[in-house]
């Protein structure tokens, strides 16, 4: 039985895994780079160990250091979170060799689904619809031109080992094929160490919809319904919701059945995600399988009422899946916004730095998976996502209204964030009506640019002034006769008298 879990990750996902472990009575072990010494997950864990410099390849991506730390502290199991080593088959294999339980699928399963071309073949054999395209790696630019002309434009060129939008190129006509082929191969080699690419017919006006699945070591597989992930910028998800407002009950049932079939085709064990593209006519096609926990998994947890991390651990303990498909249903509606330290007015450049002030929203139906705090310095070495804001409500309309409220309450100063950008998304008519696809951000670009500069600047000035007043009053308190005396705020008094500002 698993008694101690090392989390081979950082930030919010490390904390999220640790919380479930603590509820299960399991000890937790954090690993951290030099840049993460003061990170929240380090303080939260029962034990914490340094594993190297800030650069990920010398710390979080160093398999031998992670394995050595697990053995040193006596961890029974390793949870990889997402990113870093979570889909590294060699890491899963090394854990098995060292007698450490890897909380995830077998190395062989990762390899089977990590290769996009091999995965397409398996899905075809399992009766899962796939996008028309090549079943063999492209051998030359000339071959790519020929096949593109046969399939018909537009066509998507993809890296076989790709993910996260890397190694992908949309081709509109023959003149773009050669350049796309060469750049996609180069990007794939630099990102994944493999330059194999293939072609798929581009699905126009697609929805990106995924199904959460769970499988145990005894042949049982279920799905936990769908997530709509079509609000994307450069193939990176920004906002997700569950259930999808686009699916009909009949289509949801059919896609769920195909997701289970896809997982069974590779004897899947653990938590995973089957991703589909759904065209405007509601025809769906297998896109890929992610053999790990997804960033957006909380919205599934909110509407289904299942702790996916706990299920992962139980499956890794070789327990029989206790959840039955016929007993599961979606309740209410959940939306997730990814909170990132980035400058949305400067091409979404990362914005590392020290958080001066943090005010997180609260209230019914609000969940925050984050790891930052007042005074925390966001490092430059990792992904700019600093947290996820999740709301749940009984209906989609109420969930949108709740998300608007909590985004208004969420305050972070010291670094630039995408909070204002997310606020605007919640008011775009296409999103409000649920009538959007993966072209949403491109189509609504004008509405998403900064348009409320005056009000936002006034709010920032008010916050700065209030904080300055707070500091002044702290100094006055030092000499006050009563230690707990708190002078009336001169700023507030002035604002109320003049009627110019309310804080």
Q: Is 292 a catalytic residue?
A: yes
Sign (positive or negative) of CA dihedral 459, 464, 468, 473: positive
Helices and strands, number each (H, E), in the chain = 18, 22
For strand 357-359 and strand 411-413, is the pairing parallel, antiparallel, or unpaired? antiparallel
Extract the tokens encoding 323.
């959840």
| Pure H helices in 368-435 | 396-409, 419-425, 429-433
Bridging pattern class, strands 27-33 and 47-52: parallel
- For residue 71, the SS3 value is helix
Q: What share of the chain is helix, strand, coil (3-state, %, to 5)?
A: 40, 25, 35
Is 185 exposed, middle or buried, given 0-12, 13-18 or 19+ CB atoms closer than 10 A?
buried
Q: How far apart are CA 388 and CA 379, in angstroms?
A: 18
Which residue of the set 120, 227, 252, 292 is catalytic? 292
Those residues with Cβ within 8 angstroms of residue 310's Cβ, 6 or more apart along the chain or in another chain: 20, 23, 24
| Selection from 108, 115, 163, 155 nearest residue 135 by Cα | 115
Rounded to whole angstroms, how far apart are CA atoms 276 and 287? 5
User: Rounded to an integer, what distance in angstroms lies between the CA atom of residue 344 and that of residue 351?
Assistant: 10
Nearest residue to 437 via CA among 280, 269, 266: 280
CB 271 within 8 A of CB 293: yes
Return the active site residues: 292
């Amino acid at each position: 039985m698993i008694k101690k879990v090392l989390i081979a990750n950082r930030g919010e996902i490390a904390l999220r895994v640790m919380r479930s472990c603590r509820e299960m009575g399991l000890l937790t072990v954090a690993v951290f780079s030099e840049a993460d010494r003061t990170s929240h997950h380090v303080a939260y864990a029962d034990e914490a160990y340094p594993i190297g410099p800030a650069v990920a390849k010398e710390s979080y991506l160093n398999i031998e250091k992670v394995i050595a730390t697990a053995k040193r502290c006596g961890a029974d199991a390793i949870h990889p979170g997402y990113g870093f080593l979570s889909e590294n088959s060699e890491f899963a294999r090394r854990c098995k060799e060292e007698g450490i339980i890897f909380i995830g699928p077998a190395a062989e399963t990762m390899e089977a689904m990590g290769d996009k071309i091999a995965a397409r073949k398996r899905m075809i054999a399992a009766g899962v619809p796939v996008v028309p395209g090549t079943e063999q790696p492209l051998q030359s630019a000339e071959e790519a031109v020929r096949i593109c002309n046969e399939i018909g434009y537009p066509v998507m060129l993809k890296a076989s080992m790709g993910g996260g939008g890397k190694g992908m190129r949309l081709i509109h006509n023959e003149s773009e094929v050669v350049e796309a082929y060469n750049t996609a191969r180069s990007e794939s080699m630099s990102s994944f160490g493999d330059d194999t690419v293939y072609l798929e017919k581009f699905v126009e006006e697609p929805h990106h919809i995924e199904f959460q699945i769970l499988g145990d070591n005894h042949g049982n597989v279920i799905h936990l319904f769908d997530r709509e992930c079509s609000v994307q910028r450069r193939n990176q998800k920004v906002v997700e919701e569950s259930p999808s407002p686009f699916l009909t009950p009949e289509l949801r049932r059919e896609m769920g059945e195909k997701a289970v079939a896809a997982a069974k085709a590779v004897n899947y064990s653990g938590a995973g995600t089957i991703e589909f593209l759904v065209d405007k006519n509601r025809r769906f096609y297998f896109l890929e399988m992610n053999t790990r926990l997804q960033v957006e998994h909380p919205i599934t947890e909110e509407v289904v009422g299942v702790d996916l991390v706990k299920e992962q651990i139980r499956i890794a303990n070789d327990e029989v899946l206790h959840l039955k498909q016929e007993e599961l249903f979606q309740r209410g509606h959940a939306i997730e916004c990814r909170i990132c330290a980035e400058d949305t007015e400067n091409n979404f450049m990362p914005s590392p730095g020290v958080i001066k002030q943090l005010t997180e929203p609260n209230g019914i139906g609000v969940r925050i998976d984050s790891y930052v705090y007042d005074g925390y310095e966001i490092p430059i070495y990792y992904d700019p996502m600093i947290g996820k804001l999740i709301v749940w409500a009984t209906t989609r309309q109420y969930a949108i209204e709740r998300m608007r409220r909590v985004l208004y309450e969420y305050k972070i100063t010291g670094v630039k964030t995408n909070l204002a950008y997310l606020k605007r998304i919640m008011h775009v008519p296409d999103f409000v009506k649920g009538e959007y696809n993966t072209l949403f951000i491109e189509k609504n670009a004008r509405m998403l640019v900064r348009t409320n500069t005056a009000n936002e600047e006034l709010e920032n000035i008010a916050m700065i002034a209030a904080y300055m007043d707070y500091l002044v009053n702290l100094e006055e308190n030092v000499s006050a006769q009563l230690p707990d005396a708190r002078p009336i705020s001169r700023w507030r008094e002035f604002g109320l008298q003049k009627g110019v500002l309310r804080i």
